[in-house]
Amino acid sequence: MAGLVLFFYKAFVLNFPLIPEARSHVWNVEASVSFVARNEPVKMSLHLPDNSRWFAIVDENFVSRGYGLATIRTKQYGNRKAAWSKRKARGYQSLFYRCVVRRGYLTEPAGPSSPPDVEYPQFEGAPLAAAESVIAEIQEQSADVDTLVAELINRLNKSQPGGNLALLLGKEPTLLKKMEIGAGVLAHASIPARVVQGIRLERQNRNAPLIQWLEVYDGKLWKPYDPVTGRPDIPDDYLAWWRGRAPVGQLNGGDRLKIQLAVGINQEAAITAAIERGEFANPLLMTFSLFSLPIRTQAVYRVLLLVPVGAFLLVVFRNVIGVKTFGTFMPILIALAFRETRLIWGIALFSSLVGLGLAIRFQLERLKLLLVPRLASVLIVVVLLMAALSILTHKLGLERGVSVALFPMVILTMTIERMSIVWEEQGRSEALQQALGSLLVAALAYLIMTVSYVEHLVFVFPELLFLLLAGTLLMGRYTGYRLLELFRFKALIKQNP
């Protein structure tokens, strides 16, 4: 359960990719500011985007030669702002802000228990009466806040909104004007609402227009509403830049202010985006993850984490199917060696080494050596055979044969010793069965462990090893017949149906 919970959290909340080499969209966003300074002190402020439940802002940088820079946060809406200043400036000036935007899906903190104070248009006289009349009409035709807001936005978007709304909107109202009037009308119904200003994250737009929508406070969170349909949701490519009716930037000490927003899509490895997202959403989890290790150490664990996969496969073959092998670790380590030698060459080299080593081991038996000297002698022989095979295959132009040095020599030594003992005590047939079984398990383990999907899953989601541990523990309690034993006792089953 622990493994599954952590896996689903990383896969579906932090969006760690389930497929290797998956790509993720990121957006490069830029705000360019230009103006003409009047040879006097200059102050320039620019609203900045912020992290949200949907997006994370990373890799920010500012280009502002000769200007002092400070980032501040406003009290009313908590907007971020960049404040540039210079003692004296003259002529054409240009400032830049750039950032990278990634999908975040972060957890938004709980809002205040009491409704927040928001800024909204103050209606007096005829506009006040019109706003109250609009609220009364809409409340009669709605059942809750969602339907009330939807009805209001639908009316605001009509080409002929009616007498009361027409009075409030004026002639040729912009989308910003509609959202401001909507927030003001809702405020008179004691519904906290505010205008959000942002851009759409398109594939490429060098002059991205500002768009606006409404956010309504539901007692816990600010809920966005689509400015066209009025539904309690917005398109997933809307990036909130700032909140309120204030302009995107304000200038003191200059003229002809021009602010241009640009956006362009880019691609990066999905795993990189997920790591960045995890550092925002759950920094503790990422601090104690494999991705916090040095690159070289990560490369080692990409191989080591495959060993439990091979061990689980070995348990299945030995305890469920009934395949005989030499020990527990030998097939797994041989499978790891196969990753470098490749399967066919690996089987050929392994068989050659074991065959030659076994022949020499039988010759050593005549000397009646003690156990430890005998094992040391076999180890020396194995090393000499590996060196001889490498030289021979290299001279023959078979460069793949040089990879014989990747075989674990100690495991080869123990395999030769174990096989010789089985050969003497249980016969040649039993020794060959265990040798073939070991090669079979090693080959299948190699085929599974070299699947890029498997390597990706166990490294990115190491908690899945808990599932292998659970399966291994369950099979460790299994005491029934093995699959091959059903064939072994087939005659007995026929006699006793």
CB distance 97 to 54 below 8 Å: no
What's the CA gap between 497 and 493, in Å, rounded? Answer: 6
Across 426-448, b (16+ Cβ under 10 Å) vs e yields eeeeebebbbebbbebbbbbbee
What's the CA gap between 131 and 106, in Å, rounded? Answer: 37
- 13, two tokens: 């909340």
> How confident is the model over 211-253, as pLDDT tens digits?
999 999 887 788 999 998 888 888 888 999 999 888 999 999 9
pLDDT at 108: 54
The type of residue at 395 is: K
> How confident is the model over 55-67, as pLDDT tens digits?
888 788 998 888 9
Q: Closest Cα partner for 46 from 20, 79, 77, 13?
A: 79
Q: What is the mean pLDDT of residues 57-79?
A: 87
Task: Looking at mean pLDDT, say which of 200-209, 306-315, 365-374, 479-488 comes out highest.
Answer: 306-315
CB distance 325 to 441 below 8 Å: yes
Question: Is 417 a residue whose pLDDT tops 90?
Answer: no
> How confident is the model over 102-138, as pLDDT tens digits?
876 555 544 444 556 665 566 777 888 888 888 888 8
Q: If you compute the radius of gyration of the chain from its CA atoms, what whole number of angstroms results?
A: 36
* pTM for this model (two decimals): 0.60
What is the dihedral sign for C-alpha 278, 280, 285, 291?
positive
What's the CA gap between 62 and 71, in Å, rounded? Answer: 11
What's the CA gap between 6 and 118, in Å, rounded? Answer: 39
CB distance 64 to 89 below 8 Å: no
What's the CA gap between 495 and 455, in Å, rounded? Answer: 48
- 245, two tokens: 């009716």
Helix axis angle, 330-341 to 409-426, nearest 10°: 130
- More confident of the two residues 302 and 196: 196
> How confident is the model over 89-101, as pLDDT tens digits?
999 999 999 998 8
- Give the whole-number percent of the chain exceeding pLDDT 70: 90
What are the beta bridge partners of residue 31? 97, 261
Residues 6 or more apart whose CB falls under 8 angstroms from that of 264 comprise: 27, 28, 203, 204, 205
- 225, two tokens: 């509403």
